[in-house]
Amino acid sequence: MKTAIYYFSGTGNSLVLARDLAAQLGDARIIPIARTLISGWDEQADIVGIVFPVYMFGLPLIVADFLKALKVKPGAYVFTGATLGGLPGRAHTLARQILKRRGITLAAGFSVRMPGNYTPLYEAIPQDQQEKLFRGQKERVKEIARIVEQRKGACREEKPLWINSLLYALVYKIGIAQIPPAGKDFRVTAACNKCGLCEKICPVANIHLRDGKPVWLRHCQQCMACLQWCPQEAIQYKQSTQGRKRYRHPEVTAQMIMEQR
Ligand SMILES: Cc1cc2nc3c(=O)[nH]c(=O)nc-3n(C[C@H](O)[C@H](O)[C@H](O)COP(=O)(O)O)c2cc1C
Ligand code: SF4
Ligand code: SF4
Is residue 179 helix, strand or coil? coil
User: What stretches of the chain show up as alpha helix (H) in DSSP?
Assistant: 13-25, 33-39, 61-69, 91-101, 127-149, 161-167, 173-175, 197-201, 225-229, 254-258
Verify that 222 and 101 share a domain, yes or no: no
Which range marks the domain in which residue 205 is found? Answer: 177-258
For residue 229, the domain's CATH number is 3.30.70.20
Among candidate residues 159, 175, 191, the one where a domain is terminated: 175
Among protein residues, the one whose CA lies closest to atom 4 of ligand 1: 55
- The residue nearest atom 3 of ligand 2, judged by CA position, is 192
Best residue among 55, 93, 179, 252 to mutate for probing ligand 1's pocket (most ligand atoms within 8 Å of CB) is 55
CATH number at residue 140: 3.40.50.360
Give pLDDT tens digits for 114-164. 999 999 999 999 999 999 999 999 999 999 999 999 999 988 999 999 999
Same domain flag for 79 and 20: yes
Count the neighbouring beta carbons within 10 Å of the beta carbon of residue 261.
14
Residues 92 and 201 in one domain: no
Task: Determine whether the shortest distance from the Cβ of 254 to ligand 2 is under 6 A.
Answer: no
Specify whether 77 is located in the same domain as 181: no
pLDDT digits (tens, 9 = 90+) for 92-116: 999 999 999 999 999 999 999 999 9
